Amino acid sequence: MSSNAASMTMDGSPYVVTVLGATGSIGTSTLDVIARHPDRYRLHALTAYHSRERLAALCQSYRPEVAVIGNDDDARWLRDHFAELKLDIDVRCGDAALVEVSQAPDVDVVMAAIVGAAGLLPTLAAVRAGKRVLLANKEALVMSGALFMDAVERHRAVLLPIDSEHNAIYQCLPSEHRQGLSRHGVTRLLLTASGGPFLGWGVDELASVTPAQACAHPNWSMGRKISVDSATLMNKGLELIEACWLFNATPEQIQVVVHPQSVVHSMAAYSDGSVIAQMGNPDMRTPIAYGLAWPERIDAGVEALDLFQVARLDFHPPDEKAFPCLRLAREAMAFGETAPAVLNAANEVAVEAFLSGRMPFNGIASLVEEVLENATLVKANELDVILEEDAKARWLARRHLSKRF
């Protein structure tokens, strides 16, 4: 019996994995971890939206059974490309194909690493098919909260958070935490935030920052949307909502702590005064490897943490005046109904507008606030309703955008 046998499926075969958003930052880190353990994992599908060359190169290296791309033209190009290379990879395209490869019977594990609302349907499909779902795509959970968590329970999916903070908290909590935090003596969840590239900046200084500055995160290398979210602190706001759903917590039970070194990834505080933290170098391969191997541990290719080199750890409260997105997210979660979905949709439109130079940085928070004030919020108990309210919020955001900028 090989030393890896315990981590294989019951019949000793490798885990079969679909990577949604394979060409992104999380997707490529996932493939890096998988490549370190070729006997433990086999790839069913890799998916991408536009970047056909990048997807082709990943398929050539990692040999999945299926490749999914966003449109017909790119699918044709990929088919020709694979035929030339004599690679037997089935090429599919569009949203229906994303759902197919997420719920395919052979698949054990789905890495949900599409960015934004586009990830909701395939991630939910994986949940409904009872897969082990590694959740990086926080927007999917923010949009559909209760419905998503109900589906996890009903279909006995295994949901493991990949967002580094939530992965840290998951590691700091007892396994039965969803029964209620207070039952386990947990008093608070401490969600750490690096503070992003503009930590310490005031409203006036933020007025003229550029997309390039916003995307230059000091500690993490990430996709452009989450980089902007980190710069506005909307990322922490989305994460606060994500933590409420994942850990069955109220917004009041979650304290955001700015920690510029990004070494403590988050903490759980207990009634006896204990605070349990998870630490490590800021490298997403740690939470990804945790999710892939759970409940075991595998090598992630991450350098060991050198505390002497870290030397000091700083913690302070966030500046919600300069970064109002955190407050907006907390209020949306406290309000409930479709408020988090509306917040998320407006933010996606606002970030896109900022990245394309149509709106200043401070406009992101004000646009989100304006959309929340003008949206009609309804109960978020059906998928169709959530998708409809998401579409309405985007329409509202675009209308406000064209009026103001």
Sites of contact with ligand NAD (CB under 6 A): 21-27, 48-49, 51, 70, 113-115, 118, 136-139, 163, 220, 222-223, 225-226, 284
Query: For residue 385, what are its two tokens?
Result: 């309703």
Q: How far is CA 246 from the centre of its chain?
A: 12
Which position has the token pair 């349907």?
121
Beta bridge partners of 255: 190
User: Could you tell which of ligand NAD, Mg ion, none binds residue 114, using a CB distance below 5 to 8 A set by kind?
Assistant: ligand NAD
Residues 284-307 as b/e (b if ≥16 CB within 10 A, e otherwise) read bbbbbbbbbbbeeebebebeeeee
Minimum distance from residue 23 beta carbon to ligand NAD (Å): 4
Identify the three-state secondary structure at position 148. helix
Distance CA 254, CA 290 (A): 23
Stretch that binds Mg ion, among 70-78, 164-172, 345-353, 371-379 (CB under 5 A): 164-172
User: Could you tell which of ligand NAD, Mg ion, none binds residue 74, using a CB distance below 5 to 8 A set by kind?
Assistant: none
Q: Is 389 in the site for Mg ion (CB under 5 A)?
A: no
3-state helix, strand and coil shares in percent for the chain, rounded to the nearest 5: 50, 15, 35
- Give the residue with the Cβ less far from Mg ion, 139 or 163: 163
- Give the residue with the Cβ less far from Mg ion, 164 or 362: 164
- Give the residue with the Cβ less far from Mg ion, 68 or 343: 343
Minimum distance from residue 50 beta carbon to ligand NAD (Å): 6
Query: What's the Cα-to-Cα distance from 186 to each of 166, 169, 217, 244, rounded to whole Å?
Result: 15, 11, 32, 14
Distance CA 200, CA 20 (A): 35
User: Could you tell which of ligand NAD, Mg ion, none binds residue 226, using a CB distance below 5 to 8 A set by kind?
Assistant: ligand NAD
DSSP 91-105: EEESHHHHHHHHH-T
Residues contacting residue 149 through CB under 8 Å, at least 6 positions apart: 141, 245, 246
- Give the residue with the Cβ less far from Mg ion, 163 or 319: 163
Residue nearest to Mg ion (CB): 163
- Give the residue with the Cβ less far from Mg ion, 15 or 323: 323
Q: Is 163 in the site for Mg ion (CB under 5 A)?
A: yes
Pairing, β 264-270 against β 275-279: antiparallel
Minimum distance from residue 279 beta carbon to Mg ion (Å): 15
User: Could you tell which of Mg ion, ligand NAD, none binds residue 18, using a CB distance below 5 to 8 A set by kind?
Assistant: none
User: Could you tell which of Mg ion, ligand NAD, none binds residue 115, using a CB distance below 5 to 8 A set by kind?
Assistant: ligand NAD
Stretch that binds Mg ion, among 104-112, 162-170, 361-369, 396-404 (CB under 5 A): 162-170
* Residue of 217, 297, 274, 230 whose CA lies nearest to 33: 297
Minimum distance from residue 160 beta carbon to ligand NAD (Å): 13
Q: Is 229 in the site for Mg ion (CB under 5 A)?
A: no
Residue nearest to ligand NAD (CB): 24
- Give the residue with the Cβ less far from ligand NAD, 7 or 233: 233
Minimum distance from residue 272 beta carbon to Mg ion (Å): 28
Minimum distance from residue 368 beta carbon to ligand NAD (Å): 16
Q: Which long-range contacts (CB under 8 A, 24 or more apart) does 316-323 make?
A: 316/257, 316/258, 317/256, 317/257, 317/258, 318/193, 318/195, 318/233, 318/236, 318/256, 318/258, 319/200, 321/203, 322/198, 322/201, 322/202, 322/203, 322/206, 323/232, 323/233, 323/365
- Give the residue with the Cβ less far from ligand NAD, 14 or 245: 245
- Give the residue with the Cβ less far from Mg ion, 165 or 389: 165
Write out the residues near Mg ion by the rule CB under 5 A: 163-165
